[in-house]
Amino acid sequence: MSTSTIATETESSFNYLRTANKLLREGNLAEAVDAYQQVIQLNPKSAVAYQNLGETLSLQGNLEAAANIYHQAIQLQPNYSWSYYNLGEILIKLDRFDEAVIYLNQGIEINSEFPKFYSSLGLALAKQGLFDEAIVAYRHALEIDQNFASAYQYLGEALANKKEWNESIDAVNQAIEINPYLPEYHLSLGKVIESSGKIEQAIISYRHALDLNPDLAQAYYYIGLALTKLQKWEEAIDTFMQAISLNLKNAEVYHHLGAALAQLKKWEEAIAAYQNAIEFNPNAPIIHHQLAYAFAQLKKWEEAIAEYREVLKINPNSAVVYDQLGEALTEMQKWEEAINCYQKAVEIKPDNQKFNQHLQEALSRRQEQNKTVIDSHLKLAEMMEQQGFIEEAISAYRRVVNLNPTAADLHHKLGYALASLEKWNEAIASYNKAIELHPNSGIVHYHLGEALANLDLDEQAISSLEKAIELTPNLSSAHQALENLQAK
């Protein structure tokens, strides 16, 4: 490539860079990305283009692409500390905190004089719960810049996580002293104070944030949460609604609104709030659970059952939810399903007295319910039989037998009705089932013998009749039937 061509491309890349920077300042991000990419195509070693392209992609929300660009910038210029810092910042936004720590430490090794590097390192460490290490990093930042307000804020929050309340509050107050007009510092102070248990004082700090920015939805949300801890439900509801009106619409705010409404037994409104929360987070078992409970309070059992089942899809090992689902199914007299749920609850928590009690009650109620139904069908069968509607009687007897298959007398009655229509094989099957369940009934052996005789199964019939006489010696009809068979 000639010297003149190189000079032309260098001048062209410089012009694109100037254009790209102008587009970035004006907020024309998509065009700025194209221009920076053109710079890199013309001048692949332009570290500034990589830096600014990474920044532009980050502003677009294209974090993965931004991370890739910063990786390339590091390869191009491995001793440029800001590339490590920018990559660390992107990785924090991507929740890749352990990687962020690595790159931020590398940036600090190259240049240890920038307080932001330590502050971001502290944030990445704190996000991993490494609060001791985070505190060290924040203190390093403050050694370099004693007026670094956000470092004081983060330091205070890290100290709060270690329950070092006085130092924590002092640190956040230091941030406010440096910049008293930033509402976020007052929110941070409120959260620290609230964590220490001083809820009324926390609300004062949240209200200071609102004084600085009356449209700060997050402040209303925090006030609402604090008011729920004070059980000031009406006020909490008002502040949650204010947050929502300022476009803070997410699962958390609707969930807490629903919980506050539920405390006042405003079930319909609570249901609406929970349903809104689920739209934002359909996989939150606690919201489905509370929605199910609200439906149950209104005796909307089908809806409650559906929500309890949603909870169990997400958390299949919740004995409490199985128990509550069982209660809802019990209300609908779905005994088998209810009993299955209670059994599952007991299986998970075998020593829970309440779950065992609910299971026993359900078993008892099912038995009572079945007895009522059985008695009803039995009376119908007997009435039909008396009136000569034998087919209808047989159908009713079959329903009774299905409901109580271990009752010998019911199999006997069914067999007798079948025999009256000369359905001998079916009658014999019913008599045999009755004998299997209760082998010492002389009358059943007698009726079995009669049925067998009608099929000319004389030897079996004689055996049955002899058994009937053995069990009930005074059964004259059995004696007569036996004499008739033996006289053949």
Q: Which of 49-63, 87-101, 167-181, 239-253 is predicted with the least confidence, judged by mean pLDDT? A: 49-63
| 323 in a structural domain | no
Q: Give the residue-averaged pLDDT of 70-92.
A: 93
- Per residue in 437-477, pLDDT (tens digit) is 999 999 999 999 899 989 999 899 899 989 989 999 998 99
Q: Select from 190, 258, 179, 180 the least CA-distant residue to 218.
A: 190
Using the predicted structure, report yes or no on whether residue 406 has a pLDDT greater than 90: no
Using the predicted structure, report yes or no on whether residue 124 has a pLDDT greater than 80: yes
Using the predicted structure, report yes or no on whether residue 403 has a pLDDT greater than 90: no
- Summary mean pLDDT of the chain: 92
Q: Give the residue-averaged pLDDT of 372-392.
A: 84
CA distance 254 to 274: 6
| Number of structural domains found in the chain | 1
Q: Cβ(59)–Cβ(90) under 8 Å?
A: no
| 384 in a structural domain | no
CA distance 258 to 289: 12
- Per residue in 201-212, pLDDT (tens digit) is 999 999 999 999
Q: Cβ(36)–Cβ(26) under 8 Å?
A: no
Here the CATH number for the domain that contains residue 465 is 1.25.40.10
Q: Give the residue-averaged pLDDT of 196-220.
A: 97
| 441 in a structural domain | yes
Provide the pLDDT for residue 478: 82
pTM equals 0.72
Q: Where does residue 338 rank: exposed (0-12), middle (13-18), buried (19+ CB within 10 A)?
A: buried
* High-pLDDT (> 70) share of the chain, %: 97
| 478 in a structural domain | yes
Using the predicted structure, report yes or no on whether residue 41 has a pLDDT greater than 60: yes
Provide the pLDDT for residue 8: 43
Provide the pLDDT for residue 370: 67
- Per residue in 304-346, pLDDT (tens digit) is 999 999 999 999 999 999 999 999 999 998 988 999 999 999 9
Provide the pLDDT for residue 6: 36
Q: Cβ(417)–Cβ(385) under 8 Å?
A: yes
Q: Give the residue-averaged pLDDT of 180-184.
A: 96
Q: Give the residue-averaged pLDDT of 126-147.
A: 97
| 73 in a structural domain | no
Q: In terms of residue numbers, what domain contains 445?
A: 406-488
Task: Label residue 4 by pLDDT band (50, 70, 90).
Answer: very low
Distance separating the N- and C-terminal Cα atoms of the chain: 127
| 213 in a structural domain | no
